[in-house]
Chains A and B, each alone.
Chain A
């Protein structure tokens, strides 16, 4: 079955949800890939929508590369980098921060 193409299958569990990788399959063309994907991954209505993507169309970034974010701490980009606001609010009286 070396002349069949590999498709990666993605599914959406409910409307509005993020599409997640479900698995992969082999098929001759996208139409048959969709048929097989629903046979293999949707026997229990797991998804409201599925995508099949030819594997060569998936570009993978190097896992250790700088493109996935610098190694240095970058709390300033995260909510957790601003925990000091809790104490800072206390200077202004009241129990907690205004939005807590």
Chain B
């Protein structure tokens, strides 16, 4: 795009926000798009492990909570793909292209959604800690320079905060339950601890200097992880649960948590699309698209009154 890069950088440096119809460098547009599409994909894929639990949720109240959480996540995906569509229009990329890329394994989604959720305690841990981790990331993105994304994130964060409460309630109930319920909770935490450390990405892995220079992102992977650990480690310990990392400790002088190597090779393996449940969840996504295609078709202009 023909534009003055320096003028754009100066706008960002003045703290100005960028709107969808503003002139922006292609590189800025691509970086925003990559971040936003990955987020939309993650909302969509994140609903899948939880959806598996709707028929098995213990009790009507839990079923309603989980159903509405899944509905929220799909709604978030819809709203974020909409923001992505406006960004992608100059590249002639449509929402269908984005969904195709996801199904064919060409696009990324968040690592945590490639893991199984074998017990009800996993549902609690996901809603409490995975959504808690997501709130760290999305909370920082409220300050992104791309205004349409920031606006929709305000709505999304408010709903994610409710999901977190729902997860907290499940975890607190299990933690004050029978020994076997506590054991189930401990097992779920142990399963999810490593993916949770992976959630924010490797330390020092600055995505691309431009993402920070342009304020597309405002917090580093490690800052976000530390903020997560500061909030949740004391709560997990208060519940009497064991965190499966003997090296986890707080440095009182710096206020930073140090942790054992969470095996970043596993992280990269998942990111490459080779996670425990990646293929299965993508095929589930493909199946929903095929089976529910008639709904999409019924909503097309030729049928709409």
Contact = CB atoms under 8 A, between A and B. Distances in A.
B90 to A, nearest CB: 14
A27 to B, nearest CB: 7
Contact of A25 (B72, B82, B305): B82
Contacts of B75: 39-40, 43
27 contacts: A1-B95, A1-B96, A2-B94, A3-B301, A4-B301, A23-B151, A23-B155, A24-B86, A25-B78, A25-B79, A25-B82, A26-B82, A26-B85, A27-B304, A28-B299, A28-B300, A28-B301, A29-B301, A29-B304, A31-B304, A31-B305, A32-B299, A32-B304, A40-B75, A43-B68, A43-B72, A44-B159
Given A28-B299, A29-B301, A60 B21 contact: yes
A3 to B, nearest CB: 6
Contacts of B159: 44
List the 9 shortest-distance A-B pairs measured between CB atoms, nearest first: A28-B304, A28-B301, A29-B304, A1-B95, A40-B75, A32-B304, A2-B94, A24-B82, A28-B300
Interface residues of B, number: 23
Contacts of A3: 300-301
Interface string B266-305: 0000000000000000000000000000000001110111
B71 interface: yes
Interface residues of A, number: 20
Interface of A: 1-4, 22-29, 31-32, 39-41, 43-44, 60
B152 interface: yes
The A contact surface, by secondary structure, is mixed
Contacts of B86: 24
Contacts of A29: 301, 304-305
Contacts of A32: 299, 304
Given A2-B94, A29-B301, 20 more contacts: A1-B96, A4-B301, A23-B82, A23-B151, A23-B152, A23-B155, A24-B86, A25-B78, A25-B82, A26-B85, A26-B95, A27-B304, A28-B303, A29-B304, A31-B304, A32-B304, A41-B155, A43-B68, A43-B75, A44-B159
B71 to A, nearest CB: 7
Contacts of A4: 300-301
Contacts of A60: 21
